[in-house]
Structure formats: C-alpha cells, structure tokens
Amino acid sequence: MKKTLILSCALALAGLSNVAMAADGGQGFVRAELGRSEVDVFGENDNDTAYSIRGGYFFNANIGVEGFYSSLYDQNVGTFDTTLTAFGAGVVGKKNFGADGNGFFIGGRAGLANYKGEIGSEDETSTHVYAGVGAGYDFSDAFGLSLNYDFNRPEFDDVDVDADSLTLAGEFRF
C-alpha cells in the first residue's frame, strides 16, 4: 500500500512538472546540501555528517516540486554498520524579499519520504512525511545559498526514530 502511494505521488509530480515546463516562468533546480544530523533512537543521541541531493522544478517564483536522496546516518555501532537513508518527493515554497526576485529568502518543504534503516545485515523501510524550513540568499537568478533544517521521523517496527539535520546548501537553477 505504501509503495503504491509513493509511486502514485511520483507519477503525479512527474505529470505536473511536464505541464509546468511547457508554461512560461518556470525554472528547474539542483541543490546539494551538506551538514550535520542528530539521530535519536530510544533516547540515545548520536551525530553524523548528513548530505542530500535534491532536484525539481519551480512552477513560478514561489511554488515547486522536488525529489531527493538523503544520507542521514552512516556509522559503525559496535560491530555493526548502521545507516539511515531516504528517497522522497514533495512540494517546496519560497519567498524572496529582493526587488528583482533575488536577495534574502525564506522557504519550506514537505512531502513523503521512503526511509531505509540498516543495522548489519538487517534492513527495514518506512514511509513517512518529512518537513523542512530554510533561509538564504539568492545571488542571481541562477545561484543561491541557504541554511536548512529538516525534520525526519521514520518508524521501524514500532521504533520511532528522530533524524533531524542542519545543512548548508548551494542551489543551481536553470
């Protein structure tokens, strides 16, 4: 059921982006993010390097869609390799405060993510919502930098995981 929901959302977003590309005023983007994650399981916290590769399409200056891959955790815990990754798709919103559409901005994003958690040879998947907020500066129509905070809450066999990340991002628009 969850895989069907993800596939349906992905197909709907792909269809919307094709319609948007035919219209004037849209802009594609690719964003690379690097920062720090804090993972909390059963009250135990650990930090790791987090990164994401995101891409999508802005229908106009304020609303768009995105797809992404994120690595939230990759450490050896005891004798086990432990990882937490996510693939997802969602909507993004952005409000620029510069007169020409550049300058300072705030933004947000939300959607569905398929999380994969691995401990040793055991792995599980979980589909849940994700959300994030950010602020930054667009230097031109084609490039901007931002600081982003994302909220990830996968659940594996009734084990709640909090995996929040704070990242610096560079976004290229075309």
Instruction: Give how far Cα 26 sits from Cα of 17, 18, 109, 114, Å.
Output: 9, 11, 18, 27
Q: What is the pLDDT of residue 24?
A: 53
Q: Where are the domains of the chain?
A: 2-173
Q: What is the pLDDT of residue 21?
A: 46
Look at the block and give the residue holding tokens 């996510």: 86
Q: What is the pLDDT of residue 159?
A: 79
**pLDDT, tens digit (0-9, with 9 covering 90-100), for 9-27:** 454 555 554 444 444 568 9
Which of residues 40 and 134 earns the better pLDDT score?
Answer: 134
26 with 58: CB under 8 angstroms? Answer: yes
In this prediction, residue 129 has a pLDDT band, given cuts at 50, 70 and 90, of very high
Q: What is the pLDDT of residue 156?
A: 86
Which of residues 54 and 7 earns the better pLDDT score?
Answer: 54
Distance of CA 88 to the CA centre of its chain: 7
**pLDDT, tens digit (0-9, with 9 covering 90-100), for 81-125:** 888 999 999 999 999 998 787 899 999 999 999 999 888 778 889
Query: Looking at the domain that runs over 2-173, which CATH code has it been given?
Result: 2.40.160.20
